[in-house]
Amino acid sequence: MGQTVVLVHGAHHGGWCWRKVARLLRDAGHEVFTPTLTGVGERAHLLTPEVGLTTMIRDVTAVLEAEELTDVLLVGHSLGALAVLGAADRARDRIRRIVLLDGLVVEAGRRGFDALPEEVVVQRELDAERRGDGLALPSPPAGAFGVTDPDDVAWVERHLTPQPLRCYREPLVLDGPLGAGLPVTYVYCSRPPYPVIASSHQVVKDRGWEWRDLPTGHDAMVTDPEGTVAALLA
């Protein structure tokens, strides 16, 4: 029996990044939604100073509600993990399970920037000020996300867009516990690891959430779509 799967992308990406994974899931009979969050991807033109983590959470919650989805497998990649955790807090009854794919995770009340090394935060703030009008982080090369195949590198770099800076500056506000009391699985992309989110791993382990290893790069949906699908559905 097919599942309802909502795939939420990370920073600089858009719904486009799930193309390979979504195709595999649909071919297997699952219903798949790949929303693009405000301010990036094909919605980059909607960037304003107000676009932040709250906007991302509203984007995800709105998909769940507008499509009248229930019993959802909700997946968040990288920074998208925070949007998923926020949406779960607001729409718990619509969700069956959460998967965080190499996700950035913080405790309630903390910011995305709080999970990153101080030197990374300083550099990103400087880059946003110098090259992003203080509103957005310029896009890194695809190699920063563990993408190495030349065709994949070209495809990803054609689509990456600047990331709204406020998404990292705004705290994760929750009414309930982190994870909303739902089953949560963390998929760790280990080859190569993405070191800037290493502090997230301790938050996951403190919660006792299920941990899975996926031996591919941070953009697993690009570098190993078959392995990603297996990890999401296992």
Say which DSSP state 182 is in: S
- Distance set, CA 8 to CA 73, 150, 151, 208, 210 (Å): 11, 25, 23, 23, 19
Q: How big is the CA angle at 209 (ends 19 and 80), to the nearest 5 degrees?
A: 35
Say which DSSP state 97 is in: E
* Residues belonging to the chain: 234
User: How many C-beta atoms surround the C-beta of residue 53 within 10 A?
Assistant: 22
Q: Minimal CA–CA distance to 220: which of 81, 83, 102, 97? A: 102
Active centre residues (catalytic): 78
Structure tokens at 76: 């968040």
Identify the three-state secondary structure at position 66: helix
